[in-house]
Amino acid sequence: MSDFRRDFIRFAIARKAVSFGEFKTKAGRLSPYFFNSGLFSDGDSLNQLAQFYAKAILASGVQFDMLFGPAYKGIPLAAAVAVALAQAGRNAPFSFNRKEAKDHGERGNIIGADLVGRVLVVDDAISAGTAVRESYRIIRAEHATPCGVMVALDRMERGAGALSAVQEVEQSYNIPVISIATLDDLVSYLRSDPRFTRNLEAVDKYRQQYGVRAHA
């Protein structure tokens, strides 16, 4: 596991963005852990989160020209990640969408830079893939090219079929999904710290029941 992935898991647990217990998922499953990016809700935590996003993007080698943040959670993420990338020496424009288009002032439903070239979508997670589908449609409508999706945590959990939501996006749109960390990284971190022995057992059992294989 890369250092920044381990550091991100530690950071997310410390900020209680990753918590342990019993949580009902949208699929009706009882998950022993929960990830809530909404708890990165102050300047310091958002700054640190954006730094992790930037490190993961640069480490991935994905070729992109700009960032796009789907409303709503993707809006502050895209802005913060653009700042973090600039601090790392990679200046990239960004834009985001409104849920409803305006017919006055700054018209339309896209705010920020024009959607051009290779566009990397920045969001917190992929569950049903709804935000990705909408982002793909918006980007294509502007004659730009979706080149990937960046999320914080890949739960590596299958949906109704054999594939995870991330795998379904990659298969449907033929674009990579990058994550700061994955469920495998979380398990590795829990295994390294004896304080999380009980949590490790529960998460590992859940992964065996609902998990998917890591990307080849």
Is residue 143 annotated as a catalytic residue, yes or no? no
In sequence order, what are the residues at sequence separation of 6 or more whose Cβ sits closer than 8 angstroms to the Cβ of residue 28?
A: none
SS3 assignment for 86-155: HHCCCCCCEEEEEEEEECCCCCEEEEECCCCCEEEEECCCCCCCHHHHHHHHHHHHCCCEEEEEEEEEEC
User: Terminal CA-to-CA distance of the chain, rounded, Å?
Assistant: 15
Residue 104 annotated to the active site = yes
Q: Are 2 and 59 in contact (CB under 8 A)?
A: yes
Q: Of 16, 102, 205, 215, which one is the catalytic site residue?
A: 102
From the list 172, 174, 170, 137, the residue with the least C-alpha distance to 151 is: 170
Instruction: State the burial class of residue 92 (Cβ atoms within 10 Å of its Cβ: 0-12, 13-18, 19+).
Output: middle
Q: Which of 26, 99, 104, 143 is catalytic?
A: 104
C-alpha–C-alpha distance, residues 90 and 53, integer Å = 13
- C-alpha 66/C-alpha 165 separation (Å) is 24
DSSP state of 175: -
Q: Kindly list the catalytic residues.
A: 102, 104
